[in-house]
Amino acid sequence: MKILVTGGLGFIGSHTVVELLKENNEVIIVDNLYNSKIEVLEKLEKITGKKIKFYKYDLVNKEEIEKIFKENEIDSVIHFAGYKAVGESVKKPLMYYSNNLISTINLLETMNKYNVKKIVFSSSATVYGNPGVVKYTEELGRKDASSPYGTTKCMIEKILEDLYASDNSWNITILRYFNPVGAHESGLIGEEPNGIPNNLMPYVMKVASGKLETLSIFGNDYPTPDGTGIRDYIHVVDLAKGHVKALEKIKEGLNYYNLGSGKGISVLELVNTFEKINNVKVNYKIVGRREGDLAEYYADATKALNELNWKTEKTLEDICKDSWNYEKNNK
Ligand code: NAD
Ligand code: UD1
């Protein structure tokens, strides 16, 4: 299959490219390098031993997208490209709506024109809002997301639903990720957040490597066994494999899948495992809760198991080991 991967030099996209090439797919990457570096392309070629076709184009520019479809016989698209920082989206909502929505609409219109009607879209558990349960099933449906970033995910899901309702020859798979973490075991590719990280795992790595002094744990008074927040952390390589399965098993119609491990891990559990497995110290202090955080949630990933034959294989130990390996390699 010839697959166009938008945002393919980013964190999740790059790992997915590796898994797609492993399964002998042909991959074309488009990325405007807003949140990634061109060196990732060389690293992908090093890991896979294959040459990869790359377009440094912006999906907001429709003519650029069109060129890709004109020059290549594309079978399907995995759409990762977009802005993803929750806090930044609160400060710059228009920037988020404009980039995430316009790029998606341009992409879908061009796909339609070239009769490419198979797409896998990166959504997020954030679309469930605050559903009042801790184990999220796909049936819960969307609630108001807590940030403009999350709202772009809800809106794009809705756009895809309307598109499908208008033309059911489309094949649409919406993947709702839980908390993607970890790095490729080669240590060559991983997550590279700009500036001071907001998410837990990147922050833990910066503290462990001495680049930041202390991790603030946001609250230890939640109704959880150790009082700290519980999330479903998923190794990015497992997540990447979920995309390959989704493409292989893509069914007719519009389908939604949670991609998570199905297991909740607390902040303290993650920090303690990171210290133990890597034999490093992570200085931390307990501070107040972060506004907007939920106490606990994790995926019910049964549907992905039953229909895609996919489940996570990597453990929390693997996540901590691979993250640290990447951080050490990229000091
Ligand atoms: P990332 O920022 O590492 O990768 C996204 C890539 O898209 C970047 O390389 C960026 O340069 C590119 N991009 C952005 N706007 C573009 C545009 N207009 N044209 C071309 N390229 C553009 O993010 P990621 O963590 O790999 O996430 C991938 C997708 O998964 C995103 O849609 C994100 O919202 C979604 N997602 C991520 C997480 C997470 O925690 N990482 C969780 C749930 C969902
Ligand atoms: C956040 C986003 C979510 C997004 C996801 C990407 C919010 C409300 N949600 O999820 O939309 O899809 O990132 O991975 O922003 N924590 C600390 N100290 C820190 C950082 C985090 O204690 O310095 C705790 C948090 O309180 C939480 C857990 O670690 O309990 C995970 O936080 P984080 O990595 O930011 O992810 P989420 O908030 O779950």
Question: Is 149 one of the annotated active-site residues of the chain?
Answer: yes
In the three-class reduction of DSSP (H, G, I as helix; E, B as strand; rest coil), residue 215 is classed as strand
* Mean pLDDT score across all residues of the chain: 96
Find the mean pLDDT for residues 74-92: 95
Place 330 in a pLDDT band, splitting at 50, 70 and 90: confident
**What mean pLDDT do residues 45-52 have?**
97
Cα–ligand 2 centroid distance for 295 (angstroms)? 11
* Reported confidence tier of residue 111, pLDDT bands at 50, 70, 90: very high
pLDDT for 201 beyond 90:
yes
Does the Cβ of 168 fall within 6 Å of ligand 2? no
Q: CA-to-CA distance for 275 and 208, rounded, in angstroms?
A: 8
Q: What is the distance between the alpha carbons of residues 7 and 20, in angstroms, rounded to a whole number?
A: 14
Nearest CA to ligand 1 atom 28: 80
Looking at residue 144, its pLDDT comes to 85
Whether 198 lines ligand 2, by a CB cut-off of 6 Å, is yes
For the chain, the first-to-last Cα distance in angstroms comes to 37
**Ligand whose nearest atom lies closest to the CA of 260:** 1
Non-local (6+) Cβ contacts of 262 within 8 A are 232, 298, 299, 300, 301, 302, 311, 312
User: Measuring CA to CA, which residue among 184, 233, 174, 192 is closest to residue 22?
Assistant: 184
What spacing in Å lies between the alpha carbon of 224 and ligand 1's midpoint? 31
**Residue 30 dihedral angles phi and psi, to the nearest 5°:** -125, 130
| CA trace torsion 159, 165, 169, 175 (10° rounding) | 40
**Encoded tokens for 93:** 């909502």
Confidence check: pLDDT of 196 > 90: no
pLDDT digits (tens, 9 = 90+) for 123-158: 999 999 999 999 999 999 899 888 999 999 999 999
Task: Calculate the dihedral angle through the C-alpha atoms of 13, 39, 74, 309, rounding to the nearest 10 degrees.
Answer: -30
| Position in ligand 2 atom list of the atom nearest CA 181 | 14
Residue predicted with more confidence, 101 or 252 = 101
Ligand 1 neighbour 177 (Cβ under 6 A): yes
- Within 10 A of 263 (CB to CB), how many other CB atoms are there? 17
Instruction: Give me the pLDDT at residue 249, please.
Output: 83
- The ligand 1 atom nearest the CA atom of 79: 32
Q: Is the pLDDT of residue 331 over 80?
A: no
pLDDT of 250 strictly over 90: no
Which is more confidently placed, 193 or 169?
Answer: 169
Q: How far is 4 from 117, CA to CA, in rounded Å?
A: 12
Ligand found nearest the CA of 32 = 1
Q: Ligand 1: does its nearest atom lie under 6 Å from the Cβ of 124? A: yes
What is the arithmetic mean of pLDDT over 230-256?
94
CA of 75 to the centre of ligand 1 (A): 21
Q: Are 330 and 287 in contact (CB under 8 A)?
A: no
